[in-house]
Amino acid sequence: MSNQDHILIVDDDRDIRTLLASYLEKQGLRCTVAADGREMRAALETHRIDLIVLDIMMPGEDGLTLCRNLRAGSADNANTPILMLTARGEDMDRIIGLEMGADDYLPKPFVPRELYARVRAILRRARALPPNLSATPAEQARELAFAHWRLDTVARHLIDNNGAIVALSGAEFRMLNVFLTHPQRVLSRDQLMELTQGREADVFDRSIDLLVSRLRQRLGDNAREPAIIKTVRNEGYVLACEVTPAGSAS
């Protein structure tokens, strides 16, 4: 079996699909293309996909709808990294895309080399713990217990007290994992950006706030008076509860 990373390119523009697939394949990646949501779903049922490049502006089911449905769908695809392609200057599309669960975005027009760099960065982040983290006992456990939740660090989803599973996007998982491996420690937005995304914050510095907001919603944490992820004015955020390996949780 090939160990090439498999990229699914979803775009209604045939020329763009062909160009991107040709370029990425020359870089050693395997590519499958889809013109719409129907073809995307067929590809996901047939292949193991490592990352989806998803255009927002498509007729019928647009990229935002497809992204939302993927994140709410089966566990097999709910955590697949997504790189959204957006119209240049459409900040609202980027914000909504991140809120829907996209891992990153790239505004059009762009050069294929830039897309390749983003793809590699997303795949690298998805497969490894963020660099510069000192090992902690909690990192050795498959499940981390905190508040009334458990995080499965292998399947990358949340489990509530009743055993119900809550899917997380790749970006949400990385953010929560950073908080859980640095409990009760204030982390600045720049630190969170570096640890979760590995690129300069000025690309889109609101993405950290959006991710925190999404995590609070997942955790049922009151945004006005959060008890789990608290805001430290002018400094950043802090996970305000104790974290233990799930097998040791009382």
Strand partners, 152: 143, 157
Q: What is the pTM of this model?
A: 0.59
- With a cut of 70, say whether residue 203 has pLDDT above it: no
Q: What is the largest CA-CA distance in the chain?
A: 57
pLDDT digits (tens, 9 = 90+) for 101-140: 788 888 888 899 999 998 998 887 766 544 444 434 444 5
Average pLDDT over residues 175-193: 86
pLDDT digits (tens, 9 = 90+) for 1-46: 357 899 999 999 999 999 999 999 999 999 999 999 999 999 999 9
Question: Three-state secondary structure along 39-68?
Answer: HHHHHHHHCCCCEEEEECCCCCCCHHHHHH
Q: Tell me, what's the pLDDT at 237?
A: 93
Q: Tell me, what's the pLDDT at 15?
A: 94
Both tokens of residue 238? 């802090």
Q: Where are the domains of the chain?
A: 6-127, 138-248
- With a cut of 50, say whether residue 48 has pLDDT above it: yes
Q: Which CATH class is domain 6-127?
A: alpha beta
Strand partners, 187: 237
Q: Tell me, what's the pLDDT at 19?
A: 95
CA angle 177/63/205 to nearest 5° reads 45
d(CA 228, CA 22): 46
CATH number for 138-248: choose from 3.30.420.40, 1.10.10.10, 3.40.50.300, 1.10.510.10. 1.10.10.10
